[in-house]
Amino acid sequence: MSCGASTMAYTRGPVLALAFMLWGAQGQQPNNRFQNPIIPGFHPDPSCIFCRSDETFYCASSTFNVFPGIPIHASKDLTSWRLIGHALNRENQLPELSGSIGSTSGIWAPALREHNGTFYLLTTMVHDKRAANDSSRWDNIIFSTTDLWDESKWSEAVHVPFEGYDISAHWDDEGNAYIVGSYAWKVAYGIHLAEVDMKTGEVLSNWTNLWNGTGGIAPEGPHIFKKDGWYYLMIAEGGTGLLHMETIARSKALFGPYEPNPSNPILTNANTTEYFQAIGHADLFQDVRGQWWGVALGVRAGPEWLNFPLGRETVLYNVTWENGSWPQLQHPIRGEMQSWTLPSITENLSDNGPLANEGDFYRSFPPNSSLPPYFAFWRPPKKENYVISPADMPGWLELKPSHLNLTGLDGNSPGPGGITFISRRQTDTLFTYSVVFDFQPKVAEEEAGISLFLSQNHHARFGLTALPLANTTSSELVPHFCFRAISHIPVPADVIVPVPEAWRSKRLTMSLRTINETHYEFGAGPADCSARPRSIATVPGSIISWGFTGALVGAYATSNGGNGTTSAYLTDWNYEGRGQVRETWNGTLGGVD
């Protein structure tokens, strides 16, 4: 990003710009069209409900190692979604998450349900590096609350003994509760159901195998719906990649036998050239008029499946479900969808949380303020490593270095001191992100900077560190820019260059921007704009196109295992969306909005 570009952001102001985009877009669109994804960026495995008492839609999504975990988004119109809290917002609700090992372990798919005035969030804390048949790998849990709008009301985790994952809830007409879940394949196979006490997690019946799906791998993500005298069991199959699909079976009795829909799959983009791929892991709900809708996860990857840094996002579609008939789910899923008339906004949710598609700009971090709710840490943070407006640097955010760098010891470990890293999701195909750093590294190996981060073993980082100058015999340490990346595929070479002499005593703007849909660029320049910023490295999004999570952008500080204790101070945190690609990118801005 150039100094010119960031100056523009200062004068325009992100709030005004976003309000303009939001209302501008709504004003131009008929209300039977919408755009996917509805909740952009790393928001996989959506589960949504419509709450009749306040005529509001609520959605939960999975977060793996990210904390706070399990965001709850609310909407009146199904298109603008606000983050109103996180089901997992206190470390003591689930202390095990702090020790979570593995890039794709942690919180898997949630199911959000309401019964008799209580909201239940069922999910699985997955411990990695254990055999799938090791029961200690699968920790199924229930959180509950009576107020989705006050995240402090969410309960601690209640544990349910079940050696599987993706649990969801169903209540019969007598009010008895059941849990349906996917067995871990090494233990048993398919979708199983048992009666459970939702307050204690105690399993009250044997687990019954209801259905194994239509033959796709990994039958999972089950939900049960009772309609017109039928129990419908909807599941995902095929794995969460190109062959992902949603299938359904039904029975007159809750415990079966279930007969599959002859028209399965009922939702998929598999074997198409659509830009959105991996459609599946769906949930269904009705609006106030009784019209049906559904959500699923989708990946903006195209069938090439090479470049999808945003990971699995939340998409919407309309559904026809006539009495006694199988539901029909609108697909293929596309960036531009036509549907029933969307619910009209009956009440404004504004000021009740940030919009899911909004950028941000923190000119400063004022005393007594708190960090914004969408800021993401990798596992529950060591709070003492993040100091808002310290006495010697009022208005700045102090990051105290962790012993571990972003990679950690073996690429996956939590480390007792945590990893000092504060981030937000990449929510736009194209964006600019920059932060002003005041960081004067003094001790060998200490480092602070910004990162494009998917996991501890998939990220690129661009930092400032103190090193002796190359080709000198002097041991004097001089600030250097250093860029390093790690992935399952080859990464660009390290870049280690001295900070230009005239910049060394200055505050520096560190920036990350998308060059296009597939490539990112790291750069830096003096924050006072006394010199043009320099591009330091370019990195392809394919290095973070992997696994179950999605890109984060943020700032870190580490001693790299050394003796450094120098804090990094940041301000002017600015993430600005520059466009969403919703159909296959063709290299021109014509394909972007």
Ligand X SMILES: *[C@@H]1O[C@H](CO)[C@@H](O)[C@H](O)[C@H]1NC(C)=O
d(CA 153, CA 6): 39
The reply to whether 186 sits near ligand X by the rule CB under 6 A is yes
Q: Which is nearer to ligand X, 63 or 182 (CB)?
A: 182
The reply to whether 270 sits near ligand X by the rule CB under 6 A is yes
Nearest-CA neighbor of 107 among 98, 120, 118? 98
Question: By CB under 6 A, which span of 320-328, 357-365, 421-429, 473-481 interacts with ligand X?
Answer: 320-328
The reply to whether 245 sits near ligand X by the rule CB under 6 A is yes
d(CA 165, CA 45): 12
Q: Which is nearer to ligand X, 218 or 436 (CB)?
A: 218
The reply to whether 383 sits near ligand X by the rule CB under 6 A is no
The reply to whether 190 sits near ligand X by the rule CB under 6 A is yes
Q: Which of 300, 382, 484, 513 binds ligand X (CB under 6 A)?
A: 484
How near is the Cβ of 515 to ligand X at its closest, in Å?
5
- Catalytic residue list contains 521: no
The reply to whether 338 sits near ligand X by the rule CB under 6 A is yes
What is the bridge-based pairing of β-strands 191-195 and 208-211? Answer: antiparallel
Contacts of 271 (CB under 8 A, 6+ apart): none
Question: By CB under 6 A, which span of 102-110, 304-312, 389-397, 580-588 interacts with ligand X?
Answer: 580-588
Q: Which is nearer to ligand X, 88 or 266 (CB)?
A: 266
d(CA 421, CA 408): 12
d(CA 580, CA 518): 13
The reply to whether 545 sits near ligand X by the rule CB under 6 A is no
Q: Which of 2, 212, 286, 440 binds ligand X (CB under 6 A)?
A: 212
Q: What is the DSSP letter of 369?
A: -
Q: Which is nearer to ligand X, 53 or 588 (CB)?
A: 588
- Catalytic residue list contains 220: yes
d(CA 592, CA 331): 22
d(CA 172, CA 199): 16
Q: Which of 2, 29, 339, 389 binds ligand X (CB under 6 A)?
A: 339
Cβ atoms 15, 31 nearer than 8 A: no
The reply to whether 185 sits near ligand X by the rule CB under 6 A is no
Q: Which of 151, 166, 195, 220 is catalytic?
A: 220
| Shortest-Cβ-distance residue relative to ligand X | 590
Locus of tokens 């609108």? 330
Reading the block at residue 50, the tokens are 């419509």
Q: Which is nearer to ligand X, 96 or 410 (CB)?
A: 410
Centroid of chain to Cα 577: 16
Cβ atoms 34, 26 nearer than 8 A: no
Alpha helix stretches (DSSP H) within 319-459:
none
Residue at 12: amino acid letter = R
d(CA 107, CA 97): 8
Q: Which is nearer to ligand X, 558 or 574 (CB)?
A: 558
Residue at 564: amino acid letter = G
Binding mask 415-454 for ligand X (x = CB under 6 A): -----------------------------xx---------
Residues in the interface with ligand X (CB under 6 A) total: 53
How near is the Cβ of 571 to ligand X at its closest, in Å?
26
CA distances from 548 to 43, 86, 187, 207, 496 (A): 10, 19, 23, 28, 31
The reply to whether 516 sits near ligand X by the rule CB under 6 A is yes
How near is the Cβ of 369 to ligand X at its closest, in Å?
32
d(CA 191, CA 236): 11
d(CA 371, CA 391): 17
d(CA 504, CA 79): 47
Q: Which is nearer to ligand X, 94 or 233 (CB)?
A: 233
Cite the active site residues: 45, 220
Contact footprint for ligand X (CB under 6 A)? 116-117, 131, 133, 175, 186, 189-190, 205-206, 209, 211-212, 228, 243, 245, 265, 268, 270-271, 318-320, 323, 328-330, 338-340, 404-405, 407, 409, 444-445, 470-471, 484, 515-516, 518-519, 538, 560-563, 586-588, 590-591
